[in-house]
Structure 1
């Protein structure tokens, strides 16, 4: 339909064509903009509105004034206008769906109601809400990331992102400050140079295991060189980021864990040292120290004992004995300690005098001459030793020993923290060292007493005498073993062998008392006391005076005969039987019906005498059980072995002194002291040595 006017034809349309349109359409007419039409979409967006009412009456929302103003402008200048920025209606009209968002346009039209304005509105609620939600989520993500970055900045961590091709970037920095090196955007050999040489292979292996096949969580603790040049332990953790079934990157963190690592190491080392030193044995205690610090703190460690002040005098060159040493796996083993004293070098001398640790760094395998006593120069050369650290061990403010830690191959010198921990570990050995030294002094005193009492055998006409004593070890050189021989005024002789329970100064003191008393009893021949009577009298005195808890002994009286032989009478108080080596027959033990009770058990019990004759060339041996007791074997086996060895020595035609020496040397696993005394009839005039 068209309408004719002075300015030409103006198109006229029927608004009902918009009844089923999906956009909201409303028609106003006249200068008052009376609402003449709106479709169902308009009603769904804004709710029902009263037809015939003016725009000001129909659109009563607080912000509707701008819309009414636009209707005026379009109506008068006949120019269409549009608003692309979403507007909002609160939907307070009854039947309205609530708060909605829309954009609209206003166009001049002519309808059957006359000139007016056609308003077309598009519902953008879904788009606006989606955009708002996306914006809120984006803002929340931004805030979350901001909080995470603030949190990461508050902890001593380096956060990094690494691609499968080893490209790496920092998310939270700190690498340059920690290492003193500029951040490198790729993991390469120069980056790995900051990692401790001993940890590089393990770091790469751990990463390979975590990244190959099905990627998993990566965690590795290693040492990195810091800006100060020292090394500190760092723990790196990383998790793979998987997209489309493939790892596209790794997100990780690196944290300084030096303090935690060192605390755990300290606890572990001190526990290990405490276990090793619990027995109180000096060599074991010092060996535990060397074992504990290798390879955690150093590649090799040796411990040296200094002589006691009583041994060294003014002007005496200072020496040391290596008592323990350990080298880490892969290095040539250190030679076993020789037990010999060696002069200490200038560096050790400075450490002993100053009582402070000293570090010596030198070209690989080129230490100064005599740097370490009793450590071959070729070992330092072969292991490419680059540093030696000497740490004194003090007991009551006196340096009694020192430890030497060796850095080999590409190991960097120890830092202050390593030296402090090494000193702390060595501090733990001071108490067992003090106890061992005290015990050693006591044993030395007892040994001096014991050896002073074990006098040389007398020269007996018509007989060869010899005796030997051997302590169990260098750290247990005392006990109750003793031997004795007397030449009596009538030309006869007595032999005694004995063993007192115990290995201490008390046992040695008891031994000296018993030996002296038996000498008096045996020498007093006015009553012609037999060996059994001598032991019985000694038993009564020892028990009455409570001299010893338990004593075994064999006491023999030997009388010369006219044919050059000797008559032997003896009594056995719980001791191993004498061994007879006939000149023309196999060896045999003189056991009789068995030994009597040991001394200090029941002094009222009678004792027994046994008799035999010794011909020229026969050998009678009295010995203590240290000569026949071998760990893990029966005592009868030890007696059998002793008889075989004695027979072999006799057949070799050796002197009695040599025979005794050989029998002592044959026992390689002795745990107890051993003493032996022998008697052999010889022709008068034959040399006795």
Structure 2
């Protein structure tokens, strides 16, 4: 026995009764948790500890920090606690028994030392030596068990004993008050009706695994129905008592761990919410929301997106689109997402208008008609749904969507705490969802503006002209690439392609201004300008008006000549070079002596014009770097791949429009938007205007 003196008076607990116990017992007192007592079993398991000091100073091992924290929690809230998993001591002190496994519980007590915490540790490796020490320790085990049962009576749990024939006795606890049902002496089908339907098979399987073969510790967490009809998470732990190689009984305890389980669940769900931030678009963002709550909070979840505010006329029918859905394994396959608009039923409309959740409970597989679209109702019937909870998703004071959580396959309806946690998760995703929706709106606006400006190419007598634009796969990567084709009064044609730094609505707006300015410069033939002069003039205007930070472009003027040939003159402002695909011969890039600087870098710097004659069926392609830029590879490799793919398509005799579309379709998942415009003489042009020819020069 080891102890120190305490306060005078009659103590409510005499710790000396544990002097000879084989379970390890220690007592701390006061809010500083000063160690005032421990028995011999405790010293044998953990080594000698200094009495009278704070527990934090007596137990300095790294893993003991959680134990000290538990002492503080028990002392302040007066609730007993038990560890959720086995702990280990390495036994580094002289005479230590070596590596041992143990579990422990902490209970609030009052002794002659005042208020404190009683710690009881049970050595769970004892069964390893049970065969050799069974006779010697049988009586001590019996006494220790009685003491442990008395101690556990102070903790919110049930202690039970199971015999080899399966009969089970409640030693400590109040099963009847917890469940509203009498204790049953046998674990049978009726006993299992207290267990949540989804946990019954897991409970039985876990017990069988612990009992079969070499007996091992049984640990299982499951939901048990309470007197209110709700379910709470409990954890059962049991160890076999073995004598002479035979299991003589099982000793176990079942504790209510609902609060700990729910706190861990909340942490996991809120961690999953972080994945919404990484979503690229609105459906993906709402898909992450649905996936975050399945299967922990609900069996299935679908999200229905409402029209943007102001889209639905006052008093008109409210519609929604199912943009995400997920279900736990074991349920029927979900119907595909088809982006179809469905009328919103009266129940969902009430949820949207009131901004309050609504739960419907119904017989298995019999959801009420009209609450969801027919396709969703058919799935709920096939999944034998028993409940449906509709929760509004509110962002910036507007209901932008509603989530539908379904309990399926005989699941009981969610309890108030489940609904509260579901609402909390949906509340936490407001900011990432707002960001995803804003990006989606920006992307839609940029695409609308860009496609409105990227008009169809004009019809050019004696030539084929085609262009194609493909937005990026990523939400924000849109708005920078542009092309233009303009038929001039004298029969010549301008082709321009460019890329503006930035991929957002600002880039799309800047693109529209640049395109319009260059059109005016090129169309004004009162003093015809070479391509280099046109780009130089555009550069001065753009820089002076601060329209864009950086622009690359190729501006080309094509003039018809005799015999169906065309003369191409171009200037390159820091852009990938044009690709020429001759009717006969290998493809090559028209690089001249290299590109000039991009626009908005040095407006006063002279620019070059380069020349090449195109014969009938020659193909000239202008493109943006989104067509040749592949992450992790050299740009030259992308150019080579483009030349190879374009040559193969030309040899197949594809029309120019199909060639452009094919080249963009072959890129796959795109991080940047891309554009391509092509020109191909086909013979028989109108009156030639070839006499005007710009020499290669600097402008």
Q: Compute the TM-score of the two structures, normalised by the length of structure 1.
A: 0.72
Q: How does 1:196-211 map to 2 (within 5 A)?
A: 196-211=196-211
* RMSD (Å) for aligned C-alpha atoms: 3.3
Alignment partner, residue 37 of structure 2: none
For residues 317 and 593 of structure 1, the distance between their equivalents in structure 2, rounded to whole angstroms, comes to 64
For residues 211 and 613 of structure 1, the distance between their equivalents in structure 2, rounded to whole angstroms, comes to 88
Q: How does 1:149-188 map to 2 (within 5 A)?
A: 149=150, 152=152, 154-188=154-188
Q: C-alpha offsets along residues 289-321 of structure 1, whole Å, 9 cap, x if unaligned?
A: 222222211223233322212544446643333
Q: 1:267 to 1:508 in 2, by over 3 A?
A: same
Q: How does 1:236-385 map to 2 (within 5 A)?
A: 236-242=236-242, 246-277=246-277, 282-314=282-314, 317-334=317-334, 337-367=337-367, 372-373=372-373, 379-385=379-385
Q: SS at 1:403's partner residue? A: strand
Q: SS at 1:437's partner residue? A: helix
Count of residues in correspondence between the two structures: 546
Q: C-alpha offsets along residues 178-219 of structure 1, whole Å, 9 cap, x if unaligned?
A: 212222121111101111122222222332333345544433
Instruction: Give the deviation of 1:357 after TM superposition.
Output: 2.3
Unaligned runs of 5+ in 1: 1-140
Q: How does 1:591-606 map to 2 (within 5 A)?
A: 591-606=591-606
For residues 596 and 336 of structure 1, the distance between their equivalents in structure 2, rounded to whole angstroms, comes to 51
Q: C-alpha offsets along residues 340-366 of structure 1, whole Å, 9 cap, x if unaligned?
A: 444444543333233222333444445
Alignment partner, residue 567 of structure 1: 567
Alignment partner, residue 425 of structure 2: 425
Instruction: Give the deviation of 1:521 after TM superposition.
Output: 2.3
For residues 475 and 342 of structure 1, the distance between their equivalents in structure 2, rounded to whole angstroms, comes to 26
Instruction: Give the deviation of 1:557 after TM superposition.
Output: 0.8
Asked whether the 8 Å contact 1:206–1:220 carries over to 2, the reply is yes
Q: 1:660 to 1:395 in 2, by over 3 A?
A: same
Instruction: Give the deviation of 1:608 after TM superposition.
Output: 2.0
Of the structure 1 ranges 549-558 and 409-418, higher mean CA displacement relative to structure 2 is found in 409-418
Q: How does 1:624-635 map to 2 (within 5 A)?
A: 624-635=624-635
Alignment partner, residue 234 of structure 2: 234
For residues 341 and 593 of structure 1, the distance between their equivalents in structure 2, rounded to whole angstroms, comes to 56
Asked whether the 8 Å contact 2:157–2:254 carries over to 1, the reply is yes
Q: SS at 2:403's partner residue? A: strand
For residues 461 and 175 of structure 1, the distance between their equivalents in structure 2, rounded to whole angstroms, comes to 92
Of the structure 1 ranges 381-390 and 518-527, higher mean CA displacement relative to structure 2 is found in 381-390
Q: 1:346 to 1:638 in 2, by over 3 A?
A: farther
Alignment partner, residue 507 of structure 1: 507
Q: 1:216 to 1:619 in 2, by over 3 A?
A: closer
Q: Compute the TM-score of the two structures, normalised by the length of structure 2.
A: 0.71
Does structure 1 residue 525 correspond to structure 2 residue 554? no
Of the structure 1 ranges 557-566 and 261-270, higher mean CA displacement relative to structure 2 is found in 557-566
Asked whether the 8 Å contact 2:577–2:589 carries over to 1, the reply is yes
Q: C-alpha offsets along residues 106-155 of structure 1, whole Å, 9 cap, x if unaligned?
A: xxxxxxxxxxxxxxxxxxxxxxxxxxxxxxxxxxx99x979965x65554
Structure with max Cα Rg: 1
Q: 1:186 to 1:427 in 2, by over 3 A?
A: same
For residues 284 and 271 of structure 1, the distance between their equivalents in structure 2, rounded to whole angstroms, comes to 17
Does structure 1 residue 486 correspond to structure 2 residue 486? yes
Q: 1:590 to 1:334 in 2, by over 3 A?
A: farther
Alignment partner, residue 535 of structure 2: 535
For residues 556 and 316 of structure 1, the distance between their equivalents in structure 2, rounded to whole angstroms, comes to 52
Alignment partner, residue 664 of structure 1: 664
Alignment partner, residue 548 of structure 2: 548
Q: 1:263 to 1:147 in 2, by over 3 A?
A: closer
For residues 205 and 458 of structure 1, the distance between their equivalents in structure 2, rounded to whole angstroms, comes to 73
Q: SS at 2:562's partner residue? A: coil
Q: SS at 1:563's partner residue? A: helix
Unaligned runs of 5+ in 2: 1-141, 687-699
For residues 373 and 501 of structure 2, the distance between their equivalents in structure 1, rounded to whole angstroms, comes to 39
For residues 666 and 387 of structure 1, the distance between their equivalents in structure 2, rounded to whole angstroms, comes to 47
Q: SS at 1:541's partner residue? A: helix
